[in-house]
Structure 1
């Protein structure tokens, strides 16, 4: 349903041009405390440090991470890496609690959405000197920046977008990916006609992941944030939620679905579309009874309101930050090695599906010959932008407010305009 892109096109999108400009917006512009500086990167002789993550808590990534650590420890005498880990949904809270207690040291896996919040603690080391001269793609490097400071080294990046089950679409008579919202609706109705308990689109309807509505608001013309003010409740956002509620009422999307539920539906062959980051494919195929499912899954650019409009997606990525404290120099060396050494990065990609962040890694045959990865980059990653809320340390509270009000629309508790106006006022109160 989609064509792979060339190595040159892939590197161009990830390094320069529109894709890079969009992802560079992930560098928040709000004022943050002075970083811990580079003093902490002077070798203190401590070779034991923790690498705190959520990926060590997940089946698809746990063993590949352990393999990296084992390999690194074998190649660096005396190094010992501990692996504290927390579930993703509780991860940021756990980090902040540990920072507050002065207990967080070493290397830390960070979702790009959380970087401004962690930078605001003043405990992250400026890694500019570590990143200088490395082969990171410029757009990837921008993921680790906040307020002009290089707080993180990029580990993997792309966006969040639609993934289809082409076997179901073919059965429903849909022979090409929908490019407009009108075509998308037609495809969903065709899939609904298959019956057999199939959910046409496993769109987010549980409050914990209703932030996925953001790019749909963009598609309908809402800037969401303008002149440092939340403007939800404008014509674009109202049109987006009116449309989403219509699909909900027509049972084209299902109630009480979050990312975990959506992945389960895709793995069981029970949905034609769901939204995920690029690494979601590995999770879905690992748990699927259909061993050929991976070949049936394809990334789809977000359908646009009018032909010729630009598809919009939320940026997604992970960086490794280093906390000021004991073993920081050793932790920074580890972070740079696993993100820039091609042997580490490409092996991690082959085991997890998560793309590297260096030009050399992206040009490796294992990456450029992976059709799903190159298509995902072309269809989704190249058209990704930072959430407008990430620049605010209060972003998680703001996303929660939005999700609560959107859910109130879906369950019929509030009218669209009423709920979005409430969301706007509540979020503006958070940033006053």
Structure 2
């Protein structure tokens, strides 16, 4: 019996392990991973095993990552919310005000959750003391390289500084035909945000400080955006690149570097057509630093599970909560995250998979994993669009980096002021 199952209480355990007759669609599960071709079978396997173990059926609702937030809000208006939904960790504040969102401390108990989960993972689902989500898998967003492409360009070691990084990109551009040396996100505002935020941190800047003040109008942020614009001008990055494009380019040997979460390995196996044989080319590396001695940065990352119920009330023996209990059991947590190339979220599961070489290498490359400084605010969607639009405008040469930063500062400040008034 796994740690979490022991801790939620014997009554709930008896029901979780019971063999009552199944009903059609006992609960619904809305998931972006289920909509991903590379991962659909993995999720379906979990759902099938849950049905066998608990005699309960799950209706899977697959939506693309970029459509999830919109569809959840539409379902909230039409009162057709799913029982359980998968979220990116940065989206949670956007949904925190929904009346039907369950505080899972009231279902399982705050103390029991803290005993069962790794603190960093549990913290992703906590807002103002309420446990509005349970973690599904965790990790960070950092730099990934293709060792085979680096070798073709004559690069023996992963670049450590920004200057070394640019030299490596030039080598790839000149020695690997038809390549995009750094497949930086240049479309999809949600993807652009991550690249800009990381390079802004590398250059010593911030977008929004911990108190909610917009501070992007700085020399450091200008330098960061100027660096990104320079990559585009020098053909070291390319327009119209989103994260899925980056994965395909790297998997097909047409790119050397990009930013992603550890689950990239799963996508690269699929997109390369080589399966696990492609793992030899995947190199998790510290994000290059501005100068030697600086600490490398990455973005905290993870997938969360939220529960929706009438008036936000639920019990551990409800079908949806049995599903949550199953998903974070050792049986699933020592299997699903690894198939997704990510870290488990419970203490017991992390101990059980501590020898996984890829995840150990990823952890070693993580450096200073910082919380997404945009995603934590209730108006995160608007902030993300503003940043994406301004960065893209500069990357495409529609405005200067200086003008983009000034406009970003003004627009973000207006958005934050509106959000505070509506609270």
TM-score using structure 1 length: 0.85
Residues 361-403 of structure 1 show CA distances to partners (whole Å, capped at 9, x for unaligned) of 1122xx33332211112212x5221221123211111111111
Matched with 1:228 is 212
Matched with 1:338 is 327
Residues 327 and 120 of structure 1: CA distance in aligned 2, closer, same or farther (over 3 Å): closer
Which of 138, 152, 173 aligns to 2:133? It is 152
Of 269-278 and 291-300, deviating more is 291-300
Matched with 2:285 is 300
Matched with 2:253 is 269
Residues 165 and 105 of structure 1: CA distance in aligned 2, closer, same or farther (over 3 Å): closer
Unaligned runs of 5+ in 2: 1-14, 418-423
Residues 264-292 of structure 1 show CA distances to partners (whole Å, capped at 9, x for unaligned) of 10111111111111112111211214453
Which of 391, 413, 418 aligns to 1:406? It is 391
The question of 1:395 aligning with 2:380 is answered yes
Matched with 1:254 is 238
| Partner Cα separation in structure 2 for residue 420 and residue 186 of structure 1 | 26
Which of 356, 360, 373 aligns to 2:344? It is 356
Matched with 1:219 is 202
Contact (CA 8 Å) 2:207, 2:374: kept in 1 or not?
A: no
Matched with 2:60 is 83
The question of 1:111 aligning with 2:88 is answered yes
Contact (CA 8 Å) 2:94, 2:381: kept in 1 or not?
A: no
Residues 67-103 of structure 1 show CA distances to partners (whole Å, capped at 9, x for unaligned) of 11111111113x2211112111111110011112221
Matched with 2:362 is 376
| Partner Cα separation in structure 2 for residue 229 and residue 350 of structure 1 | 38
Contact (CA 8 Å) 2:183, 2:241: kept in 1 or not?
A: yes
Residues 81 and 195 of structure 1: CA distance in aligned 2, closer, same or farther (over 3 Å): closer
Matched with 2:27 is 49
| Partner Cα separation in structure 2 for residue 237 and residue 194 of structure 1 | 31
Unaligned runs of 5+ in 1: 1-42
SS in structure 1 at match of 2:27: strand
| Partner Cα separation in structure 2 for residue 96 and residue 305 of structure 1 | 40
Matched with 2:37 is 59
| Partner Cα separation in structure 2 for residue 391 and residue 347 of structure 1 | 29
| Partner Cα separation in structure 1 for residue 34 and residue 152 of structure 2 | 38
Equivalent residues in 2 for 1:188-207 (5 A)? 188-207=169-188
Matched with 2:192 is 210
Contact (CA 8 Å) 2:137, 2:337: kept in 1 or not?
A: no
Contact (CA 8 Å) 1:207, 1:407: kept in 2 or not?
A: no
Q: How many residues align?
A: 384
Matched with 2:221 is 237
Q: CA RMSD in A?
A: 1.9
Matched with 2:263 is 279
Equivalent residues in 2 for 1:19-58 (5 A)? 48-58=26-36
SS in structure 1 at match of 2:80: coil
SS in structure 1 at match of 2:74: helix
Residues 232 and 350 of structure 1: CA distance in aligned 2, closer, same or farther (over 3 Å): closer
Contact (CA 8 Å) 1:232, 1:424: kept in 2 or not?
A: yes
SS in structure 2 at match of 1:108: strand
TM-score using structure 2 length: 0.86
Matched with 2:153 is 172
SS in structure 2 at match of 1:84: strand
